[in-house]
Amino acid sequence: MALYGSSGDPLATNTGWANAPGAPAVANASAVVGAFPLQGGSADSALLLNLVRGAYTMQVSGANQTTGVALGEVYEIGSSGSSVVNLSSCGMEPAGGSLINGLAVSGTAAQQVLVRGDGRALAAFNVANPLAQPFLQLFDSNGNLVASNAGWGTNGNADQVAAAAAAVGAFALAPGSADSALLVTLQPGNYTVVVTGAGGTAGVALAETYLVP
């Protein structure tokens, strides 16, 4: 696992969380935020960092170019006036595969959230083989479908979706594009965002989640 700043410079890396000098603090922080514990001496990776306001990229790759399913997690521990407002993940979806993000709404009040599944829009950023038609689904912790979308402009609240994207600093989606988006108000709890290729198609997709003020 590696963490990069907005300039692209590596800030920290880890392979084997228990090998890091701050391993006890990592274990304590995991318990505080409710993350499942990592086994002592396991090959799982973790970093505990104090970050200033800005944009960061976390990259998880297989050591020695190995492959397999991996889970990238980000938890906010405390706050000094700043908070996490956007999490996104980008990956290659094989035919019939999916890109999955987890989302937790804490506290006691409902939170408005903008969720997007981008495919065609990525071509503007020189991403090769973007997913032609992302299908976006949002599920609650019981596996119930909360909402879904294929083509953000088909939403009855498309104007509000565009306004929310501008408010949180997300790049604009072209009118009528096949990219997907949902603007929903969620009660506290755990949710899952799933992006798949319509018709089992393959391509690079971006799953985004924004807290809307």
Structural domain span for residue 118: 85-213
Q: Quick one: 161 and 109 in the same domain?
A: yes
Q: To 5 degrees, how large is the angle CA 108–CA 112–CA 113?
A: 115
Single residue among 49, 81, 113 that ends a domain in this structure: 81
The pLDDT-based confidence of 82 (bands split at 50, 70, 90) is low
Q: Which two tokens stand for residue 89?
A: 């993940």
**Comparing C-alpha atoms, which of 204, 201, 200 is closest to residue 125?**
204
Q: Quick one: 75 and 3 in the same domain?
A: yes
**Predicted local confidence at residue 17, as pLDDT:** 94
Q: Quick one: 64 and 51 in the same domain?
A: yes
Task: Please answer whether residues 115 and 136 qualify as being in contact, where contact means their C-beta atoms are separated by less than 8 angstroms.
Answer: yes
**Predicted local confidence at residue 85, as pLDDT:** 82
pLDDT at 5 over 70: yes
pLDDT at 80 over 70: no
CATH number of the domain encompassing residue 182? 2.60.120.380
For residues 189-206, give the mean pLDDT: 94
Extended beta strands in the chain, E state: 2-4, 10-13, 57-59, 86-93, 98-105, 111-118, 134-140, 145-149, 180-186, 189-197, 203-211
Q: How many domains does the chain have?
A: 2
For residues 180-208, give the mean pLDDT: 95
Q: Quick one: 111 and 35 in the same domain?
A: no
pLDDT above 90: percentage of residues in the chain: 73
First to last CA, the chain: 31
Enumerate the β-bridge partners of residue 206. 90, 118
Interval 46-67: pLDDT, tens? 999 999 888 899 999 998 889 8
Q: Quick one: 45 and 110 in the same domain?
A: no
**Predicted local confidence at residue 53, as pLDDT:** 86
**Predicted local confidence at residue 7, as pLDDT:** 86
